[in-house]
Amino acid sequence: MWLRSLSLTQFRNYARLEWRLEPRVIMVYGGNAQGKTNLLEAIAYAATGHSFRTGSDRELIHWAAWRDPMPFARVIAEFVRQDGPVRLEIALVAEGGTPSPETASLRKQVRINGVPHRALDLFGQAAVVVFAPQDVEVVGGPPAERRRLMDLLIAQTSPAFARTLAAYQRALAQRNALLRRLQEEGGDPGQLDLWDESVARYGAPLMGQRARALHAIAGYAEEIHRTLSGGEPLMLRYIPGLDPAQVEGQMALDTLLWGQGWAEAELAEIFRKALLRERAADIRRGSTRVGPHRDDLRFIVDGVDIGLYGSRGQQRTAILAFKLAAARWLASVFRESPLLLLDEVMAELDEERRRYLLRALEDAEQAILTTTDPMLFAPDFRERVRRFHVQAGFLREDPDPPGIG
Question: What residue numbers does the annotated binding site for ATP cover?
Answer: 30-37
Radius of gyration over every alpha carbon of the chain, rounded to an integer in angstroms: 23
Sort 335 into a burial class: Cβ within 10 Å, 0-12 / 13-18 / 19+. Answer: exposed
According to DSSP, the β-strands at 105-112 and 84-95 are antiparallel
- Identify whether the C-beta of residue 157 lies closer than 8 Å to the C-beta of residue 189: no
How far apart CA 295 and CA 381 sit, in angstroms, is: 41
- Identify whether the C-beta of residue 42 lies closer than 8 Å to the C-beta of residue 11: yes
Q: Which helix (H) or strand (E) holds 282?
A: helix 279-285
CA distances from 157 to 14, 121, 363, 365 (A): 30, 12, 20, 18
- Identify whether the C-beta of residue 353 lies closer than 8 Å to the C-beta of residue 228: yes
What count of other Cβ atoms lies within 10 Å of the Cβ of residue 323? 25
Give phi and psi for 153, each to the nearest 5.
Answer: -70, -50
- Identify whether the C-beta of residue 275 lies closer than 8 Å to the C-beta of residue 199: yes
How far apart CA 398 and CA 74 sit, in angstroms, is: 26
Sort 336 into a burial class: Cβ within 10 Å, 0-12 / 13-18 / 19+. Answer: middle
Q: Which residue ranges make up the annotated binding site?
A: 30-37
Handedness of CA 396, 401, 402, 405 (dihedral sign): negative
- Identify whether the C-beta of residue 368 lies closer than 8 Å to the C-beta of residue 347: no
Chain-centroid distance of CA 377 in Å reads 27
